Amino acid sequence: MIGIDGQAAPLQSDSPEPLWQQAAKAIMKEIAAGKLVSGSRLPPERDLLTRLSISRVTLRRALQSLVTDGVLVSSHGRGWYIATEAHQEFPQTLESFSETAARLGLAPSSEVLRAEEAPASLDEAEELGIAPGGPVFHLDRVRMLDGVPVAVDQSFFPSIRGLDMSAIDFKTASLFRLLSGAGFDLARAESTIEAQAADKTLARHLGIEQGMPILAMRQLVEDGNGRPVMASTIRYAGDRYRLRTSFSRTGKAGG
C-alpha cells in the first residue's frame, strides 16, 4: 500500500484497527512530519484513494474524523485543508429528535415511511462495520414538531437480535431510547451538514416547494470505542429548523 507521500503506508486489512482509523493516522503522521503544513490543501481524494488503497467511504470517514478532531477543515467543492492554529472545534451535543423537542417544549411525532429489515449493501456494511448482506433495519420517517413537518430522517442500523421491531410504534417511539435500552452506547456522532435543494419527493413530505433550500445532515453515531451504531441522513426544511452553535475568540488582537 502507498501512503499519501508516495511511501509505504501502515494500512493493514487484517488489523483489528479499522482502516479509516489507520488512514487518519497516516495523514496525521504526514502533518506531524511537516510534509503537510497548516493551511495547505490535502491531495485530491482520487489521489488519496489510489495511494492509500481504500474505498471512498473509508476515506471520507477518516477525513471527517479529522475534521471532528479539529485537524482538518472542509471547503465544499474545493477539498480538504489542514486547519490553521486559529481553527477550533465548536461545542457539540448529541441528542435525539425527541430530546430536542422536549428541550424546546414541543411535541414530537413521526410519519413512518419505511420500517423494515433488509440485507446490508456493500456501502452500508462498510459504514456500519458489519458483513455485507447482514441484517440491517431501515427506518425512514417524516419528523414533526407540534404536527408541523420539519425533517425527513432516513436511518439504518444492525438488526437487534431478540427484539420484535414490528411491535414498535415508530410514530412516537424514540430510536435513541430504543438503542440505548438494547445496550448500545451512543457516545458521539460524526456529522456533515450541507445545503441542498428539495427534490419533488422531499418537498411533498415537508410541504414545501420543490427547489426550496434544505439542510442535509449525514450522521454516523458511534459508541465510546469508536464502533458504528447507526447511520442517518436527515434533511431539514431550511425555514423550520436552525442549527445553533457557538464560537469563541481568545487571545486575538483587534483589527
Q: How confident is the model at residue 8 (pLDDT cuts 50, 70, 90)?
A: very low
Domains with residue ranges and CATH for the chain? 19-82 (1.10.10.10), 97-237 (3.40.1410.10)
The answer to whether 161 and 173 are in contact (CB under 8 A) is no
Dihedral pair phi/psi, residue 215, rounded to 5° = -110, 125
Q: Is the per-residue pLDDT at 83 higher than 90?
A: no
Q: Is the per-residue pLDDT at 77 higher than 80?
A: no
Residues 191, 214: Cα–Cα separation, whole Å: 16
How many residues does this entry show for the chain? 255
Residues 196-222 have pLDDT tens digits of: 999 999 999 998 889 988 999 999 999
Q: Rounded to a whole number, what is the largest CA-CA distance in the chain?
A: 62
pTM: 0.59
Residues 240, 147: Cα–Cα separation, whole Å: 12
The answer to whether 130 and 158 are in contact (CB under 8 A) is yes
